[in-house]
Every structure is written in C-alpha cells, then in structure tokens.
Chain A
Amino acid sequence: MKRLITMIAMFALGSLAQAADGAISLSGVWARASAGGNSAAYATIANSGAAEDRLIAVKGDVSTSIELHEVVMDGDVMKMRPVEAIAVPAGGSVELKPGGYHIMLIGLKAPLVEGAHVALTLVFETAGEVALDAPVQTAVSTGHDAGHDHSDMH
C-alpha cells in the first residue's frame, strides 16, 4: 500500500513537472557553426500557458560562459547588449534570431562543426529547466534552412 501511494505520488509529481514544462515548446532550434571563439544559438520559444514566463538563464558546457544577448540597431550601428531575461508572453512566442535575441556562447571549448549538436538547458522562471538540442548549421545559414535555400537569389 505504502508503495502504491509512493507510486501515485511520484506519478502526480511527474505530471506536475510535465505540466510546467509542457507550457514551453521550442522550434527552429539551431546554433551557428564557428571555428572557435564565440557563437550563438537560436530558437523560437512558444508559451501555451496562461501566464507570461521568462527565460532567465541558459546552462551548458559548450563554452566557458553562456549569456542572453540582444542586438539593437541604432541607425546603422549594431549594438549587442546582455539582457537579464527574455519574456515569453502567455499564449504567444518569442523568436531568437540573427539581428535580435540570441543565446551567446562565449569562449567555445571546441569549434562548432556543421552536423554536430549543442546541448543546452534553458532555465525559465516558471517552467523551470527545458532541454534544447541545437543542431549546428553552416555559418552561411539564415536559420530557415541549413544554408541551402538560395532560391531567391536566381
């Protein structure tokens, strides 16, 4: 009986954790190939929950540090600034993409080669930790497709 209760409790806890995680979903995930130094990872984060959530940190061992950054254009001048958090609106989504928000991978421990995967953990204020597996795409990529979509160029 005790065991059954434990099982039910574990099941309930598991469901709860899933419910929290479940509000956040990721798509369009990729990281830019890099020969070393720094790089960036991108994703579209959707929040099906009834309340805003915030991405507050990203963990991973691909680089010596990982920060959330935003690129802001001031006229034609590019300014890159760390941000404390990225808000994901209730029932909405936020896109991390070149020229906007990105997960900055600072001090890569090894080059990011096309076809490899970067394992990161996104930490949300409400949803907690959500795993992200970012395929590395060629540096020439626009993120929509691994750099092979040149159809609009001809």
Chain B
Amino acid sequence: MSVSPAIRLFAAVTLAAAATIGGLAWLRSQNPSNGSVLQPSAPAAPFVLTDSDGARFDSARLKGKVALIFFGFTHCPDVCPTTLAAMTRVLEALGPEAADVMPVFISVDPARDTPDEMKTFGSLFDPRIVMLTGTPDEIAAVVRDYHIYAAKVALEGGGYTMDHTASVQLYDRESRFRSTFDFHEDDGVILEKVRLVLARGG
C-alpha cells in the first residue's frame, strides 16, 4: 500500500497539533500547571559549605530529599525574609511530608555572613532551613554552578546591598533541577509545586 508523502506529512502535522492542543488543555487543568516541573536534567554540581554551627555541609546530604535552594544575604531587609517566611509557611503546611524536603539558604555575601550571622538571621525562620555560608571562593563557585546572579552594589550612605536572583530552586531527590518559585507566588501555588516535585520521586 502506498501513501503519498503529502498525506503522511498532513497526518503527522495533524497528530502533532492534536497532541499539543490536548497536552496544553491537560496542563491548564493542573494547578499550578504541570509545566511548572521540568523534565530532569543532569544532577546539580556538588558543593561543600559551612553551616550556621560552623560545621561543614556536604551537598551529598541533599540526595534523597527534595531541596529548596535559595540564595540571599542576611542584611537583606525585604525579599530574603519574605522568601524565607514563605518557605517557613510551606514547611508548616507540608506537615509530615516536610521530612522529605530540605530547605537551604546560601549566602551570596560571604564577607558579612559569618556562621554566627547566619544563625541569628535563621533564628527568625523555620529551624529546618539549613543556613550555609563559605569562603568567597566557595560561594563564587556555587553561585556559578547554580546559575545565580549576585552583585555587590554600593549604597550612598556607605555600606552595600546585593542584587541577586530571588527565585528558589527546586531539586528532586536525585539533585536534578526541576522547578522554581518566588515570593510573588501565593503560598498555595508554591506548596503545589513542592508537592509536584515530591511526587516525581527520584
């Protein structure tokens, strides 16, 4: 039996269009959209940083957990506390499911953020949030590996602030990047994204 190439192409295009339309309709029916979670890629680069007790923290400990990784700095008065507050509420709302989640805050301001500073700042939020800092070289490497933008900006009255990526990155149990959220999103949407990544297993 012979089918002309034109008919084959037409059939292929029709099928693809139908699949796309059907797929989009299905995605829209999810809340948040299923497209919020990416297909898994390569695992994130490993790192070793210092926690707020001054102990070394190896990223191998993130394996088997869904990691919520947020970069910021303790002198940040607005977006960082707002984001850590959202993480705190999400952890509360997850209840027992939170045992499979490891929230991590990594400083982009190692010059000021000593482990003590991190401990003080972290005391305002859920104690399960791992507060990490490091040497300028260690932080520069992790900022690069996690595709974070971070830049020091001088303030007129002296001192400086940090411009930085405000998104929280979600990694699955195999440390593969799967999604993001930020403080502009409703708690309910953030919670669903975390649950979607949790549900993807490893």
Residues of A within 8 A of B (CB): 32-40, 65, 67, 69, 71, 73-74, 76-80, 82, 98-99, 102, 104-106, 138-142, 147, 150, 152-154
Residues of B within 8 A of A (CB): 74-79, 81-82, 84-85, 88-90, 92-93, 117, 120-121, 123-125, 149, 153, 155-157, 159, 161, 163-167, 180, 182-184, 186-188, 191
A37:B89 contact, CB within 8 angstroms: no
Given known contacts A82-B156, A139-B81, A140-B89, what 4 new A-B pairs fall within 8 Å (CB)? A73-B166, A79-B163, A106-B157, A153-B188
Nearest B residue to A112 by beta-carbon distance? B124
A106:B121 contact, CB within 8 angstroms: no
B93:A32 contact, CB within 8 angstroms: no
Q: Contacts of B155 on A, CB cut-off 8 Å?
A: 82
B165:A77 contact, CB within 8 angstroms: yes
How far, in whole Å, are A142 and B190 apart by their CA atoms in the complex?
Answer: 15
A35:B75 contact, CB within 8 angstroms: no
Q: Contacts of B121 on A, CB cut-off 8 Å?
A: 35, 37
How far, in whole Å, are A153 and B157 apart by their CA atoms in the complex?
Answer: 41
Nearest A residue to B189 by beta-carbon distance? A152
**Given A35-B124, A82-B156, A98-B183, A40 and B166 contact (CB-CB distance below 8 Å):** no
State how many angstroms separate the Cβ of A83 from the closest Cβ of chain B: 11
How far, in whole Å, are A36 and B81 apart by their CA atoms in the complex?
Answer: 13
**Given A102-B77, A139-B81, A150-B89, A77 and B163 contact (CB-CB distance below 8 Å):** yes
How far, in whole Å, are A141 and B85 apart by their CA atoms in the complex?
Answer: 7
A35:B120 contact, CB within 8 angstroms: yes
Q: Contacts of A82 on B, CB cut-off 8 Å?
A: 155-157
Q: Contacts of A74 on B, CB cut-off 8 Å?
A: 163
B82:A153 contact, CB within 8 angstroms: no
B163:A65 contact, CB within 8 angstroms: no
State how many angstroms separate the Cβ of A149 from the closest Cβ of chain B: 9
**Given A35-B120, A38-B77, A139-B125, A80 and B161 contact (CB-CB distance below 8 Å):** yes
State how many angstroms separate the Cβ of A109 from the closest Cβ of chain B: 15
A139: contacting residue among B85, B93, B163, B186, CB under 8 A: B85
**Given A76-B166, A77-B149, A154-B93, A36 and B120 contact (CB-CB distance below 8 Å):** yes
How far, in whole Å, are A141 and B86 apart by their CA atoms in the complex?
Answer: 9
How far, in whole Å, are A33 and B125 apart by their CA atoms in the complex?
Answer: 11
State how many angstroms separate the Cβ of B182 from the closest Cβ of chain A: 7
B88:A140 contact, CB within 8 angstroms: yes
**Given A77-B149, A79-B153, A139-B85, A102 and B93 contact (CB-CB distance below 8 Å):** no
A37:B78 contact, CB within 8 angstroms: no
How far, in whole Å, are A153 and B92 apart by their CA atoms in the complex?
Answer: 9
The 5 A-B residue pairs with the shortest CB-CB distance, nearest first, are: A153-B93, A139-B124, A78-B166, A40-B77, A98-B82
B184:A99 contact, CB within 8 angstroms: yes
State how many angstroms separate the Cβ of B181 from the closest Cβ of chain A: 11
